[in-house]
């Protein structure tokens, strides 16, 4: 009987032990994971294809490639499990002489898609920060 009581006390102590705070969800988790990123990117690529400020930078055959790499990149940089299979930003844009205005147009198209899918302001800002971090590797090369 004493052994059974001792065992119950040990189990009760284990059940109430504080294991610390729960891990903070990643941006990837907070925005809904791969399916949500894919939906936003699909919408954004449609906007980019229709955007006369930048559509000339992409031929119609390049849009599936753009979509796939953007999904991979946003998934990876938001803390998801994806692997980015594209070239680094500077190499991928070498010789294209992309202007700040063109970079901003693409960012605006992505931002509009995030708003369409009602991505909360905090997560939208974090995703746009990911794009902002690429500016120097994309513009002017």
Task: Kindly calculate the radius of gyration of the chain based on its CA atoms and give it in whole angstroms.
Answer: 22
- Cα–Cα distance between 4 and 18 in angstroms, integer? 24
- Overall number of domains in the chain: 1
The structure's pTM equals: 0.82
pLDDT single digits (tens) 41-51: 999 999 999 99
71 exposure class (CB count in 10 Å sphere: 0-12, 13-18, 19+):
buried
Beta pairing partners, 139:
98
Domain region containing 87: 31-138
Largest CA distance in the chain: 82
Please indicate, yes or no, if residue 66 is contained in any of the structural domains: yes
* 113 domain residue, yes or no: yes
14 located within any domain:
no
Instruction: In whole angstroms, give the CA distance from residue 78 to residue 86.
Output: 16
Q: Is the pLDDT of residue 121 over 90?
A: yes
Looking at residue 69, which CATH number applies to its domain? 1.10.490.10
Q: Is residue 11 part of a domain?
A: no
């Amino acid at each position: 009987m004493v052994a059974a009581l001792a065992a119950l006390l040990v189990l009760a102590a284990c059940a109430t032990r504080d294991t610390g705070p729960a891990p903070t969800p990643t941006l990837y988790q907070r925005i809904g994971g791969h399916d949500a990123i894919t939906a936003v990117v699909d919408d954004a690529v449609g906007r980019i294809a229709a955007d006369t400020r930048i559509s000339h930078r992409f031929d119609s055959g390049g849009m599936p490639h753009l979509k796939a790499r953007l999904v991979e990149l946003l998934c990876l940089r938001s803390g998801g499990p994806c692997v980015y299979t594209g070239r680094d930003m500077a190499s991928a844009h070498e010789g294209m002489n992309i202007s700040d205005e063109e970079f901003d147009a693409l960012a605006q198209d992505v931002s509009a898609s995030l708003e369409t899918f009602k991505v909360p302001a905090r997560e939208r800002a974090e995703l746009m920060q990911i794009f902002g971090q690429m500016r120097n590797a994309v513009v002017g090369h």
